[in-house]
Amino acid sequence: QVQLQESGPGLVKPSQTLSLTCTVSGGSISSGSHYWSWIRQPAGKRLEWIGRIYFNGGTNHNASLKSRITMSVDTSKNQFSLKLTSVTAADTAVYFCARGSWVEKGVWFFDLWGRGTLVTVSS
């Protein structure tokens, strides 16, 4: 079955760039009926949607994170990635990757998630 796995450094220094990759196994990232998202959860707080990317590279992101986000997709490796620049302690969180799926117009949901990876921003 399709599985998602996050990977990347667990510790990032303030003002540097957080980089994470999500590897999709058991299925193709190039499916037109899915998109691929990043979601994070600071300790004790609610989940926050970061953004999504389609297999063709089209993206949407949370406007509250402004221009700090870059997302990319590598269909040859079945991976998609997140870069978050100028990080601060407020970016410390468990980062999840997730697959968005749809069954009909207007009906979208995240049907598969990774287990999440903790990223700590600290000097």
Partner 1 sequence: QSVLTQPPSASGTPGQRVSISCSGGSSNIGRHTVNWYQHLPGTAPRLLIYSNNQRPSGVPDRFSGSKSGTSASLAISGLQSEDEADYFCAAWDDSLNGLWVFGGGTKLTVL
Q: Give the nearest distance from C-beta 15 to partner 1 in angstroms.
A: 25
Q: What is the DSSP string of 60-96?
A: EE-GGGGGGEEEEEETTTTEEEEEE-S--GGG-EEEE
Q: Give the nearest distance from C-beta 39 to partner 1 in angstroms.
A: 8
Cα gap 90→57, rounded to integer Å = 28
- Which residues would be at the binding site for partner 1 (CB under 8 A)? 4, 37, 39, 45-49, 60, 62-64, 96, 98, 103, 106-116
Cα gap 9→20, rounded to integer Å = 7
Q: Does the CA dihedral 26-30-33-37 come out positive or negative?
A: positive
Q: Give the nearest distance from C-beta 63 to partner 1 in angstroms.
A: 4
- Beta-bridged to residue 109, according to DSSP, are 101
Nearer to partner 1, 85 or 116 (CB): 116
Q: Give the nearest distance from C-beta 28 to partner 1 in angstroms.
A: 19
Nearer to partner 1, 90 or 123 (CB): 90
Nearer to partner 1, 1 or 123 (CB): 1
Among candidates 13, 43, 23, 20, which has minimal Cα distance to 114?
A: 23
Nearer to partner 1, 76 or 107 (CB): 107
